[in-house]
A = this chain, B = another copy of it.
C-alpha cells in the first residue's frame, strides 16, 4: 500500500517469481514438517524415506538410478545411503560386471518396513485433505512446472 503513487497500470515485470517460488519453497518445507513426526518411529528422515519409497517401488537400483529418480547427486546420496546401510535397511554391493556401479538393494528389514510405512501414507493422505483427483491435478501441474524449469537451463 505504501507503493509509490505513480505506479504503472500494466506493469509487465510482475512478481511472477516471488509468487510461485515462495509457495513451492514453503510447501516443500511443510511436507517435511508433516512427515517428520510420522517418520520418527521408523527412524527415517524425509529424504531417507523418499529413497526407501523408490526402492519399495523397484528394488536393487544403482546409485545413479536413484539419483535420477530423486534429482540428487552422489554427494548427497553416498552419505545418506551409508546411514541407511548402517541402520540395516539397505545393502550395497559393487556390480561384478562393471565395478564402477554400486547396486543398492533392500535387506529383509528394509522390506519389512514397507508394511509399517503404510500408516505414514494413510496419515499424509489425511493431511493433504483433498480428493485424489485434485491431488493428481496438482501433481501434474507441479511436475509440468518442474519440467519447464529443468528444460530451460
Query: Is A20 a contact of B118 with CB atoms below 8 Å?
Result: no
29 A-B interface contacts by CB (under 8 A): A13-B122, A13-B125, A14-B132, A16-B124, A16-B128, A16-B132, A20-B31, A20-B128, A20-B139, A20-B142, A21-B31, A21-B124, A22-B50, A23-B138, A24-B28, A25-B31, A25-B70, A26-B70, A27-B28, A27-B143, A27-B146, A29-B71, A30-B150, A34-B153, A128-B148, A128-B149, A129-B148, A138-B142, A141-B141
Interface residues of chain A, those whose CB is within 8 Å of chain B, are 13-31, 33-35, 50, 53, 57, 70-71, 118, 120-122, 124-130, 132, 135-136, 138-139, 141-143, 145-146, 148-150, 152-153
Query: Is B30 a contact of A28 with CB atoms below 8 Å?
Result: no
Query: Is B130 a contact of A148 with CB atoms below 8 Å?
Result: yes
Shortest distance from the beta carbon of A64 to any chain B beta carbon, whole Å: 17
* SS class, residues of chain A in contact with chain B: helix
Query: Is B27 a contact of A24 with CB atoms below 8 Å?
Result: yes
Compute how far the CA of A146 lies from the CA of B23 in the bound complex, rounded to whole angstroms: 8
